[in-house]
Chains A and B, each alone.
Chain A
Amino acid sequence: MERNPMRRQLAIMRQSLFDQGYLDEQFIQLEELQDDANPNFVEEVVILYYRDSARIILNLEQALERKPFDFNKLDGLMHQFKGSSSSIGAKKVKAECTLFREYCKSGNGEGCTRAFQQLKREYATLKRKLEAYFQLARQAGPAETACCRKE
């Protein structure tokens, strides 16, 4: 049990990200790679994810402006986004990527457009929550143990 109130708050925030389905087990895998020599590894990877995602989202937006849709290209772009999202444990974003790809495979342009809008919302929500989480983590300072685990 965390004695430090800020670390307790951090633990609660972290747990809610899993309970609400924003993150999955893969995020824990990243946390396990963090140690004293690389104390910010998770945040560094997540920042890489934001950068990659911004580029892919822009490419998707441009591709969705061109008619008729090139479903192969759209699927290829979303495959990249899904891969990155999966690597950081972004569970809801990954699910939206999967849905988008199903629409691509069935040639459903309207479905792709709808799914893309929903994906952007999920991505924005996750980004906001993770930014708040890491900001609190910085304020709380390093944990006594290497990882902040569920007790």
Chain B
Amino acid sequence: MAQSRHAVEKEQSTKITALVVDDNRINRTIHCRLLNNLGVENEVVGNGKEAVDAHCSGKKFDLILMDMEMPIMNGIEATRKLREMGNRSMIAGVSSRSMEEDIQEFIEAGLDDYQEKPLTMSKLISLIRKIKLNG
């Protein structure tokens, strides 16, 4: 049953692209696998600066999965910068932080959604559905 549901979601995810922004190799591996299973083309970078550089190089993504705490440039700063540069991707913050004030600052930087880690298939499907709804 889970596989047929994922097959439907995979069909609906066709042509959606995503960028995984996380300094943790394990999370990058898992998030990529989740996205691959849903048929979402994806790339990975290791910090916020690399995400900003990807935007500056002209790359466009429907979805950006943005970790909060990263070296060099964290997710809050990267989200703020991307919005300032006119990035219109759905940016979903993904973090293990649960303190409201931490999350609030992240949201105010320009997130469209926030999901607590670890990211699961159902959380990701809800993000993709949002993208589809917003066209």
CB contacts (< 8 Å) of A49 on chain B: these are 26
CB contacts (< 8 Å) of A41 on chain B: these are 33
Beta-carbon contacts under 8 Å, B78-118 to A: 96, 117-118
CB contacts (< 8 Å) of B34 on chain A: these are 33
Beta-carbon contacts under 8 Å, A18-41 to B: 26, 29-30, 32-33, 35, 38, 41
Contact A33 to B26, CB < 8 A, known contacts A86-B96, A86-B118: no
Number of interface residues of B (CB under 8 A): 17
State whether the Cβ of A118 lies closer than 8 Å to any Cβ in chain B: no
CB contacts (< 8 Å) of B26 on chain A: these are 45, 48-49, 52, 84, 87-88
State whether the Cβ of A82 lies closer than 8 Å to any Cβ in chain B: yes
Please name 9 further chain A to chain B contacts, defined as beta carbons within 8 Å, in addition to the given A80-B24, A82-B96, A83-B117, sorted by A numbering.
A29-B118, A29-B121, A48-B29, A83-B27, A84-B24, A84-B26, A87-B24, A87-B26, A88-B26
B contact set with A: CB distance below 8 Å:
2-3, 24-27, 29-30, 33-34, 37, 69, 96, 117-118, 120-121
Write 25 A-B pairs (CB below 8 A) sorted by A numbering. A26-B118, A29-B120, A32-B2, A32-B121, A33-B34, A33-B37, A35-B37, A38-B33, A44-B29, A45-B29, A48-B25, A52-B25, A79-B69, A79-B96, A80-B24, A82-B96, A83-B96, A84-B24, A84-B27, A86-B117, A86-B118, A87-B24, A87-B26, A87-B30, A87-B117
A contact set with B: CB distance below 8 Å:
26, 29-30, 32-33, 35, 38, 41, 44-45, 48-49, 52, 79-80, 82-84, 86-88, 146
